[in-house]
Amino acid sequence: MLLQKPKKNNQSVKGKRLLITINVLGSAGPLRFVVNEEELVAAVIDTALKSYAREGRLPVLGSDLNNFLLYCANAGADALSPWETIGSGGGRNFVLYKKPQHQPTESVGGEKPTPTQMIARKGNGGWKSWINKSLSLKIYSH
């Protein structure tokens, strides 16, 4: 006579499930969701981008997962390969960076501008010069 139902063995589930946290550079807060330990990093990046867009977060990132790198927050400086599993590094906290976009800048003549020309294009020097100008108050005496 059985008094309790036999418990099902959870070994039928593929791998462990992990709650991961992904901080997106420039975003107000982290993304949190559950993934399988054997899921590829590329699939996790794709899920993170879809979740980020669904929540309407800013700044708008786009949806091409090839433009992003995922770093383990606790590990070294190397980005995770898109073809390795998310659980291989042992981390659960990650940082998502957008790859830097190289924009070729050329002057009117078709030649590359010099560094001084590039600085001149930025304007008055940005926020540092504004602070210096605002702090250097001129006090005139009679």
CATH architecture entry for 15-98 = Roll (3.10)
- Extents of the domains making up the chain: 15-98, 103-136
List per-residue pLDDT tens for the chain, 142 residues long.
Answer: 455 655 555 554 567 999 999 999 888 899 999 999 999 999 999 999 999 999 998 888 888 989 999 999 887 778 999 999 999 888 899 999 998 877 655 545 556 655 545 544 445 556 666 666 666 655 556 5
The order of strands in the sheet holding 31-36 is: 31-36, 17-24, 93-98, 68-72
pLDDT of residue 72: 92
Residue 71 is predicted with a pLDDT of: 93
Contact between 20 and 37 under an 8 Å Cβ cutoff? The reply is: no
